[in-house]
Amino acid sequence: MSFEPQKINGKFKGKDIISLDQFSPKDISILFKLTKKMKTIAYNAKPSSVLSGKIVTLLFYEPSSRTFGSFGASVKQLGGQTVDILNPQVFSSVSKGESLEDTIRVFEAYSDAIVIRHSVAGTAKIAAQAAKFVPIINAGDGVGEHPTQTLLDLYTIQEKEGKLDSLTGVMVGDLLNGRTVHSLLKGLSLYKKNTVYLLSPDELKLSKEDFQKFSSSGVKLIEIESEKEIPQDANFWYWTRVQKERLQPQSLKNYENLKTRFIVNKDLVEKKAGKKTIIMHPLPRVGEIDPEIDEDPRAVYLSSQVRNGMYVRMALLSLVLKSS
Ligand code: NCD
């Protein structure tokens, strides 16, 4: 029996969060209204009790800094607690051969939600199918999706640009394997008149299938071959890391060369960025953004983009787990 996560349709409570496909612009606007309020809660020294008595399991099969850290901080900001399972393939019964389904059934007995990151695309959906009592939140499944990253990316764009439609963006790097790119393209396609220029090494282009899928869902995609073709004054640049751990053997041999094929530096910013172009990156970066531009006010990857991750996740958790 095929399983599809439910559409949000204005109601987040108890729902799995697996893919951007579940969201409409209205759902995103409900989430963003609350996100704004979460900023105040986070700055407020007084503890919040929105998630008091709630336990969230963070089940991370793949390494993570921001997603793990910000989910943990979000739960704690709201007065809840976490069960942290890092590297279950080494430190839990998964190493003894326990299946994903059994692992999920076990941790749902201890918690009110499970946030899962895994190296295989589709795993979050399998986990959601296995869970009987608690919602599953996808924190990145292989080359598949990373919905909460997209929600924070969209929030960051909206905060700076005041809108999510009629935007021109540039996405650069590993478009074949980058799940943040895949989810963000789905996110942008929910709004009208968005155009995204795609720049990547040949072997890391968006797959033909994805290109078709995203173009037909509404976002206009234009593949370009070099930095020279980056449009002047785009609304945002979204640079990404070459996903070393997901490369085919042929590309892996060429990793050092692929890794820094396209670099954001002062020279490029001076030539191509507009006064208001925001420079984004989901992080980690491994050489593709020169630290010389970190203090440029247009660079948001170490400032608002990171911070918004916590606020958006606070809002999402409170909507999914709210008690009334
Ligand atoms: C991204 C991821 O895990 O997909 N990181 C993140 O969650 N911020 C990007 C990456 O690893 O390149």
DSSP-assigned states of every residue in 218-246:
T-EEEEESSGGGSPTT-SEEEE----GGG
Specify the pLDDT at position 95.
Answer: 86
Round to whole Å and give the CA distance between 127 and 138: 9
pLDDT tens digit string along 283-301?
Answer: 999 999 999 999 999 999 9
Best CA proximity match to 86, nearest among 99, 110, 106, 69 = 69
Per the annotation, the verdict on 39 as an active-site residue is: no
Out of 54, 125, 146, 272, the active site residue is 146
For the chain, give the percent of residues with pLDDT over 70: 99
Specify the pLDDT at position 300.
Answer: 98
Which pLDDT band, with edges at 50, 70 and 90, does 121 fall under? very high
**C-alpha of residue 284 to centroid of ligand 1, in Å:** 7
In the predicted model, is pLDDT for residue 1 greater than 70? no
- For residues 103-118, give the mean pLDDT: 97
Pocket-testing residue among 200, 283, 310, ligand 1, by greatest number of atoms within 8 A of Cβ: 283
Which pLDDT band, with edges at 50, 70 and 90, does 96 fall under? confident
Specify the pLDDT at position 82.
Answer: 98
Per-chain mean pLDDT for the chain = 96
Specify the pLDDT at position 40.
Answer: 92
Q: Three-state DSSP class for 195?
A: strand
| Protein residue with least CA distance to atom 12, ligand 1 | 241
Which pLDDT band, with edges at 50, 70 and 90, does 2 fall under? confident
Per the annotation, the verdict on 117 as an active-site residue is: yes
Round to whole Å and give the CA distance between 285 and 309: 17
pLDDT tens digit string along 42-82?
Answer: 988 787 999 999 999 999 999 999 999 999 999 999 999 99
Q: Judging by beta carbons within 10 Å of its beta carbon (0-12, 13-18, 19+), is residue 288 exposed, middle or buried?
A: buried
**C-alpha of residue 282 to centroid of ligand 1, in Å:** 6
In the predicted model, is pLDDT for residue 324 greater than 70? no
**C-alpha of residue 85 to centroid of ligand 1, in Å:** 18
pLDDT tens digit string along 13-27?
Answer: 999 999 999 999 999
Q: What is the DSSP letter of 58?
A: E
In the predicted model, is pLDDT for residue 169 greater than 80? yes
**C-alpha of residue 317 to centroid of ligand 1, in Å:** 20
170 Cβ contact partners less than 8 Å away, ≥ 6 residues apart: 196, 197, 199, 230, 231, 234, 236, 237, 238
48 Cβ contact partners less than 8 Å away, ≥ 6 residues apart: 41, 77, 78, 79
Per the annotation, the verdict on 118 as an active-site residue is: no
Q: Is 282 near ligand 1, meaning CB less than 6 Å away? A: yes
Out of 15, 35, 57, 67, the active site residue is 67
In the predicted model, is pLDDT for residue 206 greater than 90? yes
In the predicted model, is pLDDT for residue 91 greater than 90? no
List domains and CATH numbers for the chain. 20-146+310-321 (3.40.50.1370), 147-306 (3.40.50.1370)
Per the annotation, the verdict on 179 as an active-site residue is: no
